[in-house]
Amino acid sequence: MIEEQAIVIGVNGQKVSVETDSQSGCGHCPAKSGCGTSLLGNFFTRNRQPLIIETDIALVSGDKVILGLDNDALLKSSTIIYAIPLILMLLLPVMTSYFFRSELISILSAASGLALGLIYVKYFSVLARNSERFRPVVLRRVD
Residue-range domain boundaries for the chain: 2-142
| Whole-structure pTM value | 0.64
Q: What is the mean pLDDT of the chain?
A: 83
Identify the band that residue 57 occupies on the pLDDT scale cut at 50, 70 and 90: confident
Q: Please indicate whether residue 119 or residue 140 has the higher confidence score (pLDDT).
A: 119
For residues 15 and 12, give the distance between their C-alpha atoms in angstroms, rounded to a whole number. Answer: 5
The number of beta carbons lying within 10 Å of the beta carbon of residue 53 is 19
What pLDDT digit, counting tens, does each position of 12-32 carry?
A: 888 888 888 765 555 556 665
The mean pLDDT value for 103-115 works out to 94
Per-residue pLDDT at 30:
65
Strands lying side by side in the sheet with 2-12: 51-54, 15-20, 2-12, 64-69, 137-142
Which residues touch 117 (CB under 8 Å, ≥6 apart)? 84, 85, 86, 87, 88, 89
